[in-house]
Structure 1
Amino acid sequence: MKKSSIVIAGGGSTFTPGIIMMLLENLDRYPLKSIKFYDNDGERQKIVADACEIIIREKDPTIDFVQTTDPAVAFTDVDIVMAHIRVGKYKMRELDEKIPLKYGCVGQETCGPGGIAYGMRSIQGVLELVDYMEKYSPEAWLLNYSNPAAIVAEATRRLRPKSKVINICDMPISIENNLVEILGYKKRSDIVTRYYGLNHFGWWTDIRSRDGKDLMPELRDYVSKNGYLVQSDLEEKKQHSDESWNSTYKKAADIQMLDPDTLPNTYLKYYFYPEYEIAHTDPEYTRANQVMDGREKEVFSACKEIADKQTAKDTYLEVDEHASYIVDLAVALTFNTYERMLLIVENNGIIANFDPTAMVEVPCLVSSNGPEPLAVGTIPTFQKGLMEQQVAVEKLVVDAWEEQSYQKLLQAFALSKIVPNATVAKQLLDEMYELNKEYWPELK
């Protein structure tokens, strides 16, 4: 069985240890020859990497491990690049969330003004990774789950059209894990789903058991009353499970009311219920603060403890089971398994009555040739109208980045469903531009 070499771009992320542990739990189906960590912040990466090196050594000492800030070292002779970078780190995420709230807008890292600001930072970072990969390992695949995935996907489609990039998001996977629990099944592979939309902006239209039973009536009834909230969210500590996420899962019941025949992505709440979100957000202590004071401190503390003790035994770091989709994708590309997965791909007729150049999120069969999307057909006016507005925002952001255009970025802010009017759009843009000059192109 072929052994792969991978590089994790964003080696200093708090999610990296969980992903490493998840990879090590799946060596039987995805054996590894080497693991490299790459980050442009070597000091932050070292905290995580020193611990992960010990975790890897104790699980399988035959796997070579490298941590580096040198792209040539990181990207040479690799098969898969797994990218989860955050340009500007949590400090900039905090601003993405807090500035919109000052103007009465939802403050969220991937939606509305915050998502636009984050997208303008992320494009350059992801393009750099693509260029490193194409220079040093042109046959490798880049699995990108860096946010905001919709804007990043549009940028790579347009600016690196021949690159072997696959954009993927974990939010539908997390929701499907809850759907499986609602149904009383054991794992996501027990169900087959139909879904379409944009990243963080989509709907399930059909869910069946492996033997063909229509599960939508049961799920629609449950979600209309409880949203996606399940018992394990109230009991377990996992990535998408705390008071904030529980509120998000519960709010799905209100979103579903708008189209009871489908099941919605939870992120739609920011577009349909902005006043509710603003009212339930502390403008002085947003999600970024929760993560910095919670997950970031906990993970770094655990990593330092492992490095000090030189053993990962009795650590409270956990396997990132929800991220097993990353292994599923790598296995499909490596071993030609035709795994069925939700991926972000160019529309090109998949949705018949929608922009062919839009990057849409749909089920695909994944082989060594990459994703093969499954046709959706035509979609209703309600979803089509929402998606057209949102995809226009995403395209305008990439226009603005590529052309260094203040005007195009202003149009993106003004067009966002979350921004109430053009006056607020300009105020948001001007303040965010001032604070992002280190990361955004100079606008003209």
Structure 2
Amino acid sequence: MSHQKLKVATIGGGSSYTPELVEGFIKRYEEFPLTELWLVDIEEGREKLEIVGNLAKRMIANADLPINVHLTLDRKAALKDADFVTTQFRVGQLGARAKDERIPLKYGVLGQETNGPGGLFKGLRTIPVILDICKEMEEFCPNAWLINFANPAGMVTEAVLRYSNIDKVIGLCNVPIGMEMGIAKLLDVDYSRIRIDFAGLNHMVYGLDIYLDGFSVKKEVIEKLSDPQNSSFVKNIDGMGWVPEFIQALDAITCPYHMYYYKSKEMVDQAITSAENEGTRAEVVQQLENDLFKLYKDEDLNIKPPQLEERGGAYYSDAAVRLITSIYTDKRDIQPVNTMNRGAIASIPDESAVEVSCVITKNGPMPLTVGDIPVAAQGLVQQIKSFERISAEAAVTGDYNKAILALTINPLTPSDSIAKQIVDEMMEAHKDYLPQFFEQKVR
């Protein structure tokens, strides 16, 4: 990578998270002297791109840094000669997410952005777009790293590893960081002193050990987590306490998304109640976004507003810049990312995507070998991995039967007939964003 020019292209540049990304680049400028930030979006996102892009320019001017911000709807121009490409888009925007959350609830199945039917359909809409971006990267920036935050991040990383020629891909999620921050809070210590050995899949990751200043404190943390008040660390999932006997016997730290699997009934009931009362999460987020964009329009605003942290994805952009900086400087620090397994977790195929603690080098993430995850967690992880693989295959081939198979094997779906009904209704609802299924007329 040349030191003269350092270019980052952000696809989905009109996202409400972009100011956090910009703040990350400003904070780490000494280590990562960015020269060009290209924010690219689609026609429907033009207005948001202008608002966020202008805020980004004000933030950089306020920090007095020589970073040029370019706003464009031309993806190829943004990708040309980029050193890093970040993807943070949502196909169909929040309207599509609201359908993902609402439709399954009619069938008594969890409606959620990345788990169950919502995760399947978000994957079916997102994967073809990501694979198109990969093709363009081969042509316009063959040496760039692809850093993906678009959900479902694990399934998307799996698809890129299996169906594209891009091997420099890393999936990123804010859940592990949220877990580390949550545990720091639990122990009342500074976040920088905590490190967790992570292993599993995206939104299905376990903390196998926890260190405070390099010494294991897992026993103490599990004791504290056995207190029902301390269960959830991530803003958009309401904490419900674990049964103490369960969490002690598991002997690992769960992530907030485990609630959907280990407390399925309560979480579905809660989702139904919330959807009826305050609306689905997408509808709540829509309001948050509207408020944020009003703030972003203020020409006197030249920093990231604190209100952004109300979003469930808070901190992920900062994690992205930390990751990019560590690759660029060959820092060799340890960070949890989604990458090819390469033997790190024994019971998952070597070529599959896993979420695991890695040493971050200029050649990318080197997964720390964990051997295996606890027996109690293996079955669920295997089941979700097979769901991700079949979903990715359905997304790429447009095979309707495979979409039904994927949803049926997901542990949140009670039966094949319910899976078929949900798939049919959601296919119709998302028709505009699923050309691969409708052009072939597989039915």
Mapping 1:289-368, distance limit 5 Å: 289-293=283-287, 295-306=288-299, 309=300, 312=302, 321=315, 323-368=317-362
Q: Hey, which bits of structure 1, 4+ residues long, moved more than 6 A?
A: none
Quote the residue 1:36 is aligned against: 38
1:128 matched to 2:146: no
Quote the residue 2:59 is aligned against: 55
Quote the residue 2:23 is aligned against: 21
Output the amino acid matched with 2:178: S
Mapping 1:86-125, distance limit 5 Å: 86-125=90-129
Q: Report the Cα offset of residue 315 of structure 1.
A: 5.9
Q: Report the Cα offset of residue 4 of structure 1.
A: 2.6
1:201 matched to 2:204: yes
Quote the residue 1:399 is aligned against: 393
Q: Report the Cα offset of residue 218 of structure 1.
A: 1.3
Q: Report the Cα offset of residue 318 of structure 1.
A: 5.7
Matches of 2:245 and 2:292, distance apart in 1? 34
Q: Report the Cα offset of residue 322 of structure 1.
A: 5.5
Aligned residue pairs total 426
Q: Report the Cα offset of residue 396 of structure 1.
A: 0.8
RMSD: 2.3
TM norm structure 2: 0.90
Quote the residue 2:226 is aligned against: 224
Contact 2:198 2:356 survives alignment (8 Å): yes
Aligned-pair identity in percent equals 30
Matches of 1:36 and 1:256, distance apart in 2? 48
Structure 2 CA distance for partners of 1:323 and 1:187, relative to 1, 3 Å: farther
Matches of 2:181 and 2:36, distance apart in 1? 30
Out of 178, 182, 185, which is 2:186 matched to? 182
Quote the residue 2:275 is aligned against: 283
Contact 1:329 1:339 survives alignment (8 Å): no
Out of 256, 259, 279, which is 1:266 matched to? 256
Moved more, 191-200 or 93-102: 191-200
Quote the residue 2:160 is aligned against: 156
- Residues 224-265 of structure 1: CA distance to partner in whole angstroms, max 9, x if unpaired? 1046469xx8xxxxxx43xx53x23x4456795374411101
TM norm structure 1: 0.90
Output the amino acid matched with 1:62: P
Contact 1:4 1:34 survives alignment (8 Å): yes
- Residues 153-209 of structure 1: CA distance to partner in whole angstroms, max 9, x if unpaired? 111011114432111111111111111122232123x23321211110121111123
Quote the residue 2:402 is aligned against: 408
Matches of 2:157 and 2:315, distance apart in 1? 25
Structure 2 CA distance for partners of 1:83 and 1:251, relative to 1, 3 Å: farther
Residue 442 of structure 1: SS of its match in structure 2? helix
Structure 2 CA distance for partners of 1:412 and 1:321, relative to 1, 3 Å: closer
Residue 343 of structure 1: SS of its match in structure 2? strand
1:372 matched to 2:377: no
Q: Report the Cα offset of residue 347 of structure 1.
A: 2.1
- Residues 55-75 of structure 1: CA distance to partner in whole angstroms, max 9, x if unpaired? 222223521110001022211
- Residues 368-418 of structure 1: CA distance to partner in whole angstroms, max 9, x if unpaired? 111111111133332111111111111111121222211111111111111
Contact 2:173 2:316 survives alignment (8 Å): no
Residue 163 of structure 1: SS of its match in structure 2? coil
Output the amino acid matched with 1:158: R
User: Which consecutive residues of structure 1, in runs of 5 or more, have no partner in the other structure?
Assistant: 234-239
Structure 2 CA distance for partners of 1:327 and 1:316, relative to 1, 3 Å: closer
